[in-house]
């Protein structure tokens, strides 16, 4: 099965305690689409400006990503600038320039409309709704979000949740959206708002997946002794997850398939943070993914 990925495409300036880099490929759809392409065919929807480097488009093409839904608009590409502090668990946005993204209206090519797996990577809930309005009964819809939308578009986000099969968000956002300090209660409270499944990302501490009834899956992160740039870790996680979910066999997409997808997302995200931007994903090959996957299973095995 193939995966439709919609989200932002950006040029990022990033500062970490050790380094500073400019004009990097970024955005939730960039990370999400490239990550998903490790496991399944991907169709991408997004917008860039005329200044968007051809090399970045080449990278996506080289991953076999269908770019028919990529709009190249007059003007400049969306820009984000951020800085990571201390142990890199704290991030501050330095500046945002929406540019062409301001007028973005996702417009799905005819051939995208019956894509079975839909990943609504992190963008405004309004745009996520617009995409869902254009797809024909997808088999599984995944939505990622962020604190910004909880703050400024809470109602539209809440309206999105019943349209979603899996909601992905981080621990702080789960607490913020539900008012529950306890993460297990927060996850369950989110399910009541609509999504059948909820994945709570905890960065260096791994992930919690909430399924039907009392079903729950808890996994640690892949241990890394060096992180160069955490940008896009969550988007890569969501993309890898969506891409692997699209390989689910005839038994369908239930809790066991989601667990396996989360494991793949965790492994891809662990590679992503080893370099700036998508540089590690660019050189990554499938055999390296399989090797780390085996290592991860060994590191976290309880029996």
Residues in the site for a copy of itself, rule: CB under 8 A? 86-88, 175, 181-185, 188, 202, 204-206, 208, 216-221, 223-227, 263, 296-297, 299-303
Q: How far is the CB of 200 from a copy of itself (least distance, A)?
A: 11
CA dihedral of residues 200, 165, 246, 299 (deg, nearest 10):
20
Of the pair 59, 168, the CB lying nearest a copy of itself is at 168
Of the pair 45, 269, the CB lying nearest a copy of itself is at 269
CA dihedral of residues 212, 218, 222, 227 (deg, nearest 10):
90
Q: How far is the CB of 283 from a copy of itself (least distance, A)?
A: 22
Q: How far is the CB of 248 from a copy of itself (least distance, A)?
A: 16
Of the pair 226, 285, the CB lying nearest a copy of itself is at 226
Q: How far is the CB of 224 from a copy of itself (least distance, A)?
A: 6
Q: Helix crossing, 255-272 with 28-36: angle to 10°? A: 120
According to DSSP, residue 153 is labeled -
Residues 6+ apart with CB under 8 A from 231: 12, 14, 24, 26, 82, 276, 277
Cβ proximity of 129 and 156 under 8 Å: yes
Q: Beta-strand (E) ranges in the chain?
A: 3-6, 10-15, 20-26, 42-49, 66-73, 79-85, 90-97, 117-120, 140-144, 166-170, 197-201, 207-210, 216-219
Short-list 40, 50, 36, CA closest to 269: 36
Q: How far is the CB of 264 from a copy of itself (least distance, A)?
A: 11
CA distances for 281 relative to 22, 83, 233, 266, angstroms: 18, 21, 11, 13
Q: How far is the CB of 204 from a copy of itself (least distance, A)?
A: 7
Of the pair 103, 216, the CB lying nearest a copy of itself is at 216
Of the pair 65, 174, the CB lying nearest a copy of itself is at 174
**Over the Cα atoms of the chain, what is R_g?**
18
Of the pair 149, 296, the CB lying nearest a copy of itself is at 296
CA distance 262 to 120: 16
Q: How far is the CB of 219 from a copy of itself (least distance, A)?
A: 6
CA distance 218 to 224: 18
Q: How far is the CB of 90 from a copy of itself (least distance, A)?
A: 11
Of the pair 282, 297, the CB lying nearest a copy of itself is at 297
CA distance 194 to 71: 31
Of the pair 180, 279, the CB lying nearest a copy of itself is at 180
């Amino acid at each position: 099965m193939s995966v439709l990925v919609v989200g932002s495409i950006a040029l990022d300036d990033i500062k970490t305690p050790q380094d500073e880099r400019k004009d990097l490929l970024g955005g939730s759809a960039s990370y999400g689409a490239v990550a998903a392409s490790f496991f399944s065919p991907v169709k991408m929807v997004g917008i860039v400006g005329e200044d968007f480097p051809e090399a970045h488009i080449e990278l996506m093409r080289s991953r076999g990503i269908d770019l028919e839904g990529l709009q190249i608009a007059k003007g400049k590409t969306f820009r984000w600038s951020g800085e990571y502090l201390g142990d890199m668990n704290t991030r501050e946005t330095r500046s945002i320039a929406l540019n062409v993204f301001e007028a973005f209206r996702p417009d799905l090519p005819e051939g995208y409309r019956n894509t079975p797996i839909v990943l609504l990577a992190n963008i405004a809930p309004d745009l996520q709704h617009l995409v869902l309005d254009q797809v024909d009964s997808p088999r599984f819809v995944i939505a990622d979000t962020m604190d910004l939308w909880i703050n400024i578009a809470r109602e539209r986000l809440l309206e999105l949740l019943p349209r979603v099969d899996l909601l992905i968000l981080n621990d702080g956002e789960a607490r913020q959206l539900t008012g529950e300090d306890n993460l297990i209660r927060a996850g369950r409270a989110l399910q009541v708002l609509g999504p059948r499944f909820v994945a709570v990302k905890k960065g260096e501490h791994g992930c919690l997946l909430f399924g039907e009834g009392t079903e729950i899956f808890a996994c640690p992160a892949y241990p890394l002794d060096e992180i160069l740039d955490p940008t896009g870790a969550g988007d890569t996680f969501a993309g890898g997850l969506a891409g692997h979910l699209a390989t689910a066999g005839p038994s369908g997409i239930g809790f066991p398939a989601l667990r396996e997808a989360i494991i793949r997302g965790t492994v891809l995200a662990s590679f992503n943070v080893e370099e700036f931007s998508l540089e590690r994903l660019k050189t990554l090959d499938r055999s390296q993914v399989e090797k780390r996957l085996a290592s991860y299973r060994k590191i976290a095995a309880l029996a």
